[in-house]
């Protein structure tokens, strides 16, 4: 289990560096994830029965929404605030997986694709894409897309995965 206080402290340090000052279009990532994850402006139970809102934001004990009823409305501002934090976490995890400098050197389109995948799978699962990750490091976007398609993830979320891998091929 992740220590949320430690993660927030780490994220604060990362944010102070250049996390928000990169070429990746955060609004574009938000719009894409709204399609892939959906967005709800109320508390609902996710497929595992956990209270969630916004773009797949799991309600934690540190959230002011903790303990509120399913169906409680959440403002667009709050959804955006939580999305920003969750997006920062996904970017941080991408920088950890691909090494910060390498990730920052990827084209913005590749960064957006990987952040989307990280948001969906998390670092543990994305790190298992050995051949895709090797192709990414080599800058071979077509091979990375081919390897991304050769996965259980692709078979589980085919529409989303195909959209992302098509984007990867076209970089």
Q: Are residues 84 and 155 in the same domain?
A: no
Q: Are residues 115 and 93 in the same domain?
A: yes
Q: Are residues 9 and 92 in the same domain?
A: yes
Q: Are residues 137 and 56 in the same domain?
A: no
DSSP line for 39-91: -EEEEEE-TTS-EEEETTEE--TTSTTTTPPTT-B--HHHHHHHHHHHHHHHH
Check: CB of residue 54 under 8 Å from CB of residue 30.
no
CATH number at residue 82: 1.10.530.40
Two tokens, residue 86: 């969750």
Q: Are residues 16 and 38 in the same domain?
A: yes
Global confidence as pTM: 0.81
Position 100 scores a pLDDT of 83
Position 9 scores a pLDDT of 54
Two tokens, residue 98: 């691909």
pLDDT at 121 over 50: yes
Q: Are residues 114 and 94 in the same domain?
A: yes
Write the pLDDT tens digit of every residue in 15-70.
443 444 457 888 899 899 989 989 999 999 988 899 999 999 999 999 999 999 99
Residues 5-11 have a mean pLDDT of 54
For the chain, how many structural domains are there in total?
2
Range of the domain at 144: 128-171
Q: Are residues 74 and 10 in the same domain?
A: yes
Q: Are residues 87 and 161 in the same domain?
A: no
Q: Are residues 114 and 33 in the same domain?
A: yes
Q: Are residues 11 and 89 in the same domain?
A: yes
| Residue in 60, 164, 55 with CA at minimum distance from that of residue 109 | 164
Q: Are residues 13 and 53 in the same domain?
A: yes
Position 160 scores a pLDDT of 95
Two tokens, residue 151: 């996965």
Gap between the Cα atoms of 27 and 117, Å rounded = 16
Q: Are residues 49 and 80 in the same domain?
A: yes
């Amino acid at each position: 289990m992740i220590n949320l206080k430690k993660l927030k402290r780490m994220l604060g340090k990362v944010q102070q560096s250049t996390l928000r000052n990169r070429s990746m279009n955060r609004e574009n990532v938000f719009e894409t994830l709204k399609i892939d994850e959906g967005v709800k402006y109320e508390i609902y139970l996710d497929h595992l029965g956990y209270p969630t809102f916004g773009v797949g934001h799991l309600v934690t004990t540190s959230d002011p929404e903790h303990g509120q009823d399913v169906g409680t409305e959440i403002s667009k501002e709050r959804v955006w605030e939580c999305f920003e934090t969750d997006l920062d976490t996904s970017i941080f995890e991408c920088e950890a997986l691909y090494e910060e400098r390498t990730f920052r050197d990827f084209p913005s389109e590749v960064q957006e694709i990987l952040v989307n995948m990280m948001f969906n799978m998390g670092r543990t699962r994305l790190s298992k894409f050995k051949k895709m990750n090797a192709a990414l490091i080599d800058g071979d976007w077509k091979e990375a897309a081919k390897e991304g398609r050769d996965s259980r993830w692709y078979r589980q979320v085919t529409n989303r995965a195909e959209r992302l891998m098509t984007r990867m091929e076209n970089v």
